[in-house]
Structure 1
Amino acid sequence: MPNPVLSALGRPFRLGIAGGASPSMIGPVHRIAATMDQRFTLDAAVLSSRPERARAEGRAIGLTEARCYGSVEQMIEDERSRDDGIEALAIVTPNDSHARYLRLALAAGLDVMIEKPLCNDLAEAVALQQAARASGCAVALTHTYSGYPMVREMRARILAGEIGAIRLVQTEYLAGGLATAVESAVDADQRWRLKPDRSGPSLVLADIGTHAHHLVSFVTGLRFASVSAEVGTLLPGRKVYDLAQVRFRLANGAPGRLDACNAAAGMSNHIHLRVYGETGHMEWVHRNHGQLVIASLDGNRRIISHGQANLTFDAQRSTRLARPGHPEGLHEAVANLYCGLADMMLSRRGHPASDAPPLVPTISDGVAGLSFVAACLESSAQGGAVVALQATSDRH
């Protein structure tokens, strides 16, 4: 179960949040997850880019009038002058604002939880990584699915050599939200994801492709070495990409396949990950996220379930309901990432939370994700040519 100790400071860390006003789904998820384990309190917010709405939304979630701000700049400036000012910032705004808000937070000495993608451009991602290192601030990235206990169980078992050397990886992330011409809806102008200047050069890769990319590297411990990709649209006339089909090679030479689509009719956040080794394979499916399937050469298939007593340390420390049959889910997965950020914050203040390093995606994972996006787009523009990924200093 996540460490319930508040911190060596004797209290939770104070958090501000940028973005996430209704009808955002991810905003409430962050607000609930951040405070779930008493590692953070939510003390200040800018929930909308429209000042009056931002203040009204802040009051609606119970914040004091003085700490409902109209802009991120104002929040950071005013909070710095308070004895009880925020110590960390959660950035859950549209993609094109991530870099600006992250720079503001780092300049103010704030630790950060930031939604993926890190930003919309690889060169800027590298510059942000350098700025984060220079500041000394902790930066965590919300690759949600790495917070699920059975994904962490899969990682621990693979890295321990349970199925031998990795030989093949297959993954897919399919969603159906863009299966119809949502561009013609009455609220289309308010959907920033439909605008390439805001969502980035490839919506499908930034939105869900980077999740699939991160999952593969997270569980195998291997970076992507090269890709051969086709990126495009299923709906004629669409201005953003909604389909990516990627063949890749991992750093050990193992081949793989990654399919991502946000226009797959009838699909609802379907994620499937299968890793083949020398002696068997492991399989995780999001709709059954509390189970990990392990299959061996002799045909034996085992199902390892959430809450079992024989789970590895990483899965056990990420589990709250420690009995089989009591499912956890999205909020708890994101909460595990916030626990990791809190541990990073303690460590940089000289109070490591435990002997085990925090298991949370960092800014390096964000740079790796942008390197993946850039390589896929370059490959697709060259008719599927093999393109090597830019080397990054990620921790896998």
Structure 2
Amino acid sequence: MATKKIRMGMIGGGKNAFIGAIHRAAANMDGLIELVCGAFSSNAQTSIESGIALGLPENRIYASYEEMIQKESQLPSDKRMQFVSIVTPNHAHFAPAMLALENGFNVMLEKPMTFSLDEAKQLKKKVEETGLLLGLAHTYSGYPMVKQAKQMIKENVLGKIRKLYVEYPQGWLSELSEKENNKQAAWRTDPTKSGKAGAMGDIGTHAAHLAEYISGLKITKICADINTIVEGRVLDDDGSVLLKFDNGASGVLIATQVAAGEENNLRINIYGEKGGLEWHQQEPNTLLIKWKDAPAQIYRTGNGYLSSVAKHNTRTPGGHPEGYIEAFANIYRNFALTLNAKIDGETPTPEMLDFPTVDDGVRGMAFIDNVIVSGLLEKKWFDFIE
């Protein structure tokens, strides 16, 4: 296995952009990746200032992503970036990702993957043509206890899965924050930047991905109720979706950003023939297993009884909490390990390959499309008659 660090470039994520700092911290955590260049803002001066603050040489700080990809591709193979992390708003995902792939660079991309389903399919086609890697930052799949839950279902510990509930309530958009100089709120509620969905695109895709990732099932049918609660808002800020899965199981997905008082209370319950499991993102180091004929069990991160895949994604001993940035870092680490294996001509292990890919990105965009279409239909509703 190669010992040199994987060289990363970054598009977006300049000063005052919170997600860029999180991506950089996650990428740096395991010593496998180093940031070597960046185009950190659509504003050239902000990009330069951001790069200097990060200690990059000025000749590796670029005024635009086009300039970065062009100039990096002209550098010797042992100097140029090997992948680019794209942490821009949704509307600015596709063009830099496609240009990077066309120039031979692997890609790590924020979610949802693109602005539209058509763009997502184009990226998938390009990934298949080039054989390059495209990773997707579905952070919550990186938690050790999420991976433990997935492994237990894979091993049929709960029996055939029958029912799934996944909820993602937030409260930060309970008011018209986009009109109050809140930049995060402004672009996430703007259809020209976010796409056709608000809450369902921003956090509903996380919930849908988590349900499919843990259960190993695929959503096949939906029935959605989509709402815009806050007066003056353009995109949805609340919704509920009935789900059907490919094994016959049913489910409910709730995503709202107007649950006043909530932070990021993502939680999931999955029930099989023998029992169920429960996981909460705000207490991510605990997995609760419930049995129909025995006491409930509590699984905790960092213990020897966990699966090999959970251990592979754990850094600290039991009782030392691992959280959001560590989950992010697991995605980057597995991506980097897979890329290193490919560079060395080796076959990546299943543990290395355990990160969201372009296929997850396409399903995420399809989820958005289908949910919004379903939400506009009225025929699913019937008057209650007493």
TM-score, normalised by the number of residues in structure 1: 0.92
**Structure 1 equivalent of residue 224 of structure 2:** 229
**Structure 1 equivalent of residue 125 of structure 2:** 130
Give the stretch that moved more between structures: 231-240 or 133-142: 231-240
Find out whether 1:276 has 2:276 as its counterpart: no
2: CA distance between counterparts of 1:318 and 1:221?
A: 19
2: CA distance between counterparts of 1:384 and 1:159?
A: 37
Structure 1 residues 189, 376: CA separation in 2 closer, same or farther (over 3 Å shift)? closer
**Root-mean-square deviation (CA), in Å?**
1.6
| Residues 182-226 of structure 1, C-alpha deviations (whole Å, 9 max, x = no match) | 133145698321211110101111110000000000001001001
**Structure 2 equivalent of residue 238 of structure 1:** 233
Is the contact made by 1:247 and 1:257 (CA closer than 8 Å) also made in structure 2? Answer: yes
For residues 341-380 of structure 1, the aligned pairs below 5 Å read 341-349=335-343, 350-354=345-349, 356=351, 358-380=353-375
Select the residue among 52, 58, 83 that pairs with 1:59. 52
2: CA distance between counterparts of 1:201 and 1:251?
A: 26
Find out whether 1:10 has 2:3 as its counterpart: yes
Is the contact made by 1:168 and 1:277 (CA closer than 8 Å) also made in structure 2? Answer: yes
**Structure 2 equivalent of residue 165 of structure 1:** 160
Structure 1 residues 189, 327: CA separation in 2 closer, same or farther (over 3 Å shift)? closer
For residues 72-111 of structure 1, the aligned pairs below 5 Å read 72-83=65-76, 84-111=79-106
Find out whether 1:287 has 2:282 as its counterpart: yes
**Structure 1 equivalent of residue 262 of structure 2:** 267
Is the contact made by 2:120 and 2:361 (CA closer than 8 Å) also made in structure 1? Answer: yes
1: CA distance between counterparts of 2:366 and 2:64?
A: 31
| Structure 1: 5+ residue stretches without partners | 1-7, 387-396
**Structure 2 equivalent of residue 5 of structure 1:** none
Which letter maps to 1:202?
A
| Residues 228-264 of structure 1, C-alpha deviations (whole Å, 9 max, x = no match) | 0011211122112101110000111111000001121
Is the contact made by 2:189 and 2:235 (CA closer than 8 Å) also made in structure 1? Answer: yes
Give the stretch that moved more between structures: 294-303 or 250-259: 294-303
Is the contact made by 1:229 and 1:384 (CA closer than 8 Å) also made in structure 2? Answer: no
Find out whether 1:49 has 2:37 as its counterpart: no
**Structure 2 equivalent of residue 394 of structure 1:** none
**Structure 2 equivalent of residue 205 of structure 1:** 200
Give the stretch that moved more between structures: 104-113 or 21-30: 21-30
Which letter maps to 2:11?
A
Which letter maps to 1:79?
E
**Structure 1 equivalent of residue 33 of structure 2:** 40
Q: CA deviation at 1:53?
A: 0.8
Structure 1 residues 46, 384: CA separation in 2 closer, same or farther (over 3 Å shift)? farther
SS in 1 for 2:93: helix
**Structure 1 equivalent of residue 384 of structure 2:** none
**Structure 2 equivalent of residue 389 of structure 1:** none
**Stretches of 4+ moved more than 4 A in 1?**
187-190
1: CA distance between counterparts of 2:243 and 2:189?
A: 27
**Structure 2 equivalent of residue 338 of structure 1:** 332
SS in 2 for 1:191: helix
Which letter maps to 2:31?
Q
1: CA distance between counterparts of 2:367 and 2:74?
A: 40
Is the contact made by 2:124 and 2:358 (CA closer than 8 Å) also made in structure 1? Answer: yes
Which letter maps to 1:327?
P
Is the contact made by 1:230 and 1:383 (CA closer than 8 Å) also made in structure 2? Answer: no
Select the residue among 316, 319, 325 that pairs with 2:319. 325
For residues 379-390 of structure 1, the aligned pairs below 5 Å read 379-383=374-378, 385=380
Is the contact made by 1:230 and 1:384 (CA closer than 8 Å) also made in structure 2? Answer: no
**Structure 2 equivalent of residue 191 of structure 1:** 186
Give the stretch that moved more between structures: 348-357 or 68-77: 348-357
2: CA distance between counterparts of 1:376 and 1:354?
A: 35
**Structure 1 equivalent of residue 140 of structure 2:** 145
Is the contact made by 1:87 and 1:111 (CA closer than 8 Å) also made in structure 2? Answer: yes
Aligned residues: 378
Q: CA deviation at 1:77?
A: 1.2
Structure 1 residues 187, 353: CA separation in 2 closer, same or farther (over 3 Å shift)? closer
Find out whether 1:115 has 2:110 as its counterpart: yes
Q: CA deviation at 1:344?
A: 2.7
